Chains A and B, each alone.
Chain A
Amino acid sequence: MPEPTVLVTDLAFGLLLGCVFAVIAHGLNLIWGVAKVVNVAHGEFIMLGAYGAYFLNLWFGFNPLLSAPVDAAIGLGVGVLFYFGFLHRELRGKESIGLQSEMVTLVSTFGLALLIGNLALLLFSPNFVGIPWSPGFVRVGFLQLPLGALYVGVASVAIIALSHVFLSRTYLGNAIRAYSQDIPATQLMGINPTSVAAIGTALGFSITMAGGALLSVWLPTGIHPTMAALYAPISFVIVVLGGPGKMWGSLVGGISLAVIIDVGQAFVGLSLATAIAFLTLIPILLFRPEGILR
């Protein structure tokens, strides 16, 4: 039985990491809600976000907090491209996505994942890289928390809160939410479904890439094209845990997952804790597919 201080530290770290997890999952949540399909290449875009932060740091000395908005801007453009490249043909004018379209998108985005992932392996250094940014620590009782992790944790919650405000308080945001629930109704309201879907997707990608930038703080030696293979499933599991389409679900799911892994590894080691964390997907899908949140 590990020491209580160790457990509390793990809990705290899990909480902070979970917030960042939540952001990368939130992007997926948005795209899923709007496009009704999963982007298998999601991990690759997180990775691109992290590399974005890395290069911005290398060339201009930006710290990840500064890189995040830049990544977000890039993500908007990427998202629009993705929408018109992959989704528009399948979704155009349809009321709901069919089984065949679902499969097409699953397979085509998986091809995209292969493409981007290996392109990254080719273009970027094969070494694991990281961003040397360490603004110091803060003591809270016996806890020694890295300020970098604290800052990005706060930034993450801010991003999710902002997106929540946008989606529920602005006209465009509500249009996006309406679209993700009922396409014909959106058309009846005089909203162009293509614009809404494209913008919704763009927003999703933007948040994803910003999330990648923030995540880089937790990976001082871990930025590498293969990270996509880890963070894609993490994002998927989080979205399912929190509930697809539920706005705060990403936060709940992200924190839950990170805490399970961080606290769990003190008991059963990292490998088993990770396996268990991923396998929570199964009981959730079986018994509570809408997610933990009511």
Chain B
Amino acid sequence: MKLPKLPVYGPSLWGLGGSLLLLGGVAPWIPVFPLIILVNLLIFAALAYSLNLITGLTGYVNFGHVVFMAVGAYSLGYSVETLRWHPLGGVALGALTALVVSLGIGAVTLRFRGVYFAIASLVTPLAGLNIVLVLPALDDGQGIVLNPAFEPLSWFYTIWIIIAAEVGLTYWITHGRLGYGIRAIKSDEDAAKSLGVNAPHLKLFLFALSGLFAGAAGGVYAWTTSGVFPYAAFDLTFSLLMLAMIVIGGMGTLLGPMIGAVIVNLLSRFFLAIFIGTQFIIIGLVVIVIALFIPEGIVGTLRKYVPELRRILE
């Protein structure tokens, strides 16, 4: 049976968008406990989408993505605690500061190719952590404790808007002219440049967007956990989880980050219940297997080997 050609937007976008709209509609009726779990899932999905914008699309493996999240978290903490802003303002500030930081970091590190970029990105969280530890404005690393109201519905809608924006943006980027330029860069950056693709600009653009959204998500995260502490904020485990999500789901795809977030979240909760610490072992194992045998992730591999799904799944 041939699926009717959907006007303008693809089936995946309809599916994902529709699900999000549905969720948004029924949210006020979701009981508190599942809502909190959902919010947590969506935060990680938002982080996955943000990493997808740079690592998924260009192949530049950013181990230091957690820095943007930390910047967002600290911005929220500082603005709520010291400046007495409403948390929403804090989230916006988080996005903005993370954007500025990402522009600064990206302008330098994106000049490095492949492995060297990965290494430089590995070093940035450590440098960031040590710098935050000595900043007097942030209490020399004491951490910030917040006392916000318990508002899961506000959390939900904030992260919902962020994800909706990310999904829409990812779709728009990959389907337009930019999508071709990005694929060209990923395939052969020098060849792309020789055809007029302004690779440095494009990479920085994506890197900055990824920072912006990670900062926003980090702000929401701090809001929900009511506290920001240096070692926790710059914990490389976050970077690893985000990377795991897009690797498992499918790097550079539209559905991948969401699928990856769901799987990683499920695995985490399941194995956490069995024995604390085992969840990362399992996730690590899954990442190894996927990276070695189906590096395109779930969505990518399905598209590769099942031609009928290529039109629907992306």
Q: In the complex, how many angstroms separate the beta carbon of B188 from the nearest chain A beta carbon?
A: 8
- Is A114 interfacial (CB 8 A cutoff)? yes
Q: In the complex, how many angstroms separate the beta carbon of B294 from the nearest chain A beta carbon?
A: 11
Q: Which residues of chain A are within 8 angstroms of B134 by Cβ–Cβ distance?
A: 269, 271-272
A122 touches B278 (CB 8 A): yes
- Is A45 interfacial (CB 8 A cutoff)? no
Q: Which residues of chain A are within 8 angstroms of B122 by Cβ–Cβ distance?
A: 40, 232-233, 236
- Is B111 interfacial (CB 8 A cutoff)? yes
Complexed CA–CA distance, A279 and B122 (Å): 11
- Is A288 interfacial (CB 8 A cutoff)? no
Complexed CA–CA distance, A49 and B244 (Å): 26
- Is A104 interfacial (CB 8 A cutoff)? yes
- Interface residue ranges of B260-296 to A (CB < 8 Å): 275, 277-278, 280-281, 283-288, 290-292, 295
A285 touches B285 (CB 8 A): no
A108 touches B287 (CB 8 A): yes
A119 touches B131 (CB 8 A): no
Q: Which of A86, A89, A100, A114 contacts B281 (CB 8 A)?
A: A114
- Interface residue ranges of A255-294 to B (CB < 8 Å): 269, 271-272, 274-275, 278-279, 281-282, 285-286, 289
Q: Which residues of chain B are within 8 angstroms of A118 by Cβ–Cβ distance?
A: 277-278, 280-281, 284
- Is A240 interfacial (CB 8 A cutoff)? yes
Q: Which of B109, B118, B130, B133 contacts A38 (CB 8 A)?
A: B118
A115 touches B284 (CB 8 A): yes
- Is A146 interfacial (CB 8 A cutoff)? no
B278 touches A278 (CB 8 A): no
- Is B243 interfacial (CB 8 A cutoff)? yes
With both beta carbons as reference points, the residue of chain A lying nearest to B60 in the complex is identified as A103
- Interface residue ranges of B229-255 to A (CB < 8 Å): 236, 240, 243-244, 247
With both beta carbons as reference points, the residue of chain A lying nearest to B276 in the complex is identified as A122
Given contacts A118-B277, A269-B134, A282-B120, contact A106 B115 (CB under 8 A): yes
Given contacts A112-B284, A279-B127, A282-B109, contact A103 B61 (CB under 8 A): yes
Q: Which residues of chain B are within 8 angstroms of A107 by Cβ–Cβ distance?
A: 61, 243, 247, 287, 291, 295
Complexed CA–CA distance, A274 and B285 (Å): 32
Q: Which of B112, B116, B287, B295 contacts A114 (CB 8 A)?
A: B287
- Is B89 interfacial (CB 8 A cutoff)? no
Which among B61, B118, B240, B290 has the highest number of chain A CB atoms within 10 Å?
B118
Q: Which of B131, B141, B278, B287 contacts A111 (CB 8 A)?
A: B287
Which among B120, B247, B280, B288 has the highest number of chain A CB atoms within 10 Å?
B288
Q: In the complex, how many angstroms separate the beta carbon of B249 from the nearest chain A beta carbon?
A: 13
With both beta carbons as reference points, the residue of chain A lying nearest to B281 in the complex is identified as A118
Q: List 9 A-B contacts (CB under 8 A).
A: A40-B63, A86-B292, A99-B114, A112-B284, A115-B285, A118-B281, A236-B119, A271-B130, A279-B127
Apart from the given pairs A113-B284, A122-B277, A271-B133, 18 other A-B contacts in the complex at a CB distance below 8 Å: A40-B122, A100-B295, A103-B61, A104-B295, A107-B61, A107-B291, A108-B288, A110-B63, A111-B244, A111-B291, A112-B288, A116-B284, A237-B119, A237-B123, A240-B116, A278-B130, A286-B108, A286-B111
The 8 A-B pairs with the shortest beta carbon distances in the complex, nearest first, are: A114-B284, A111-B287, A115-B284, A275-B130, A108-B291, A111-B288, A118-B280, A271-B130
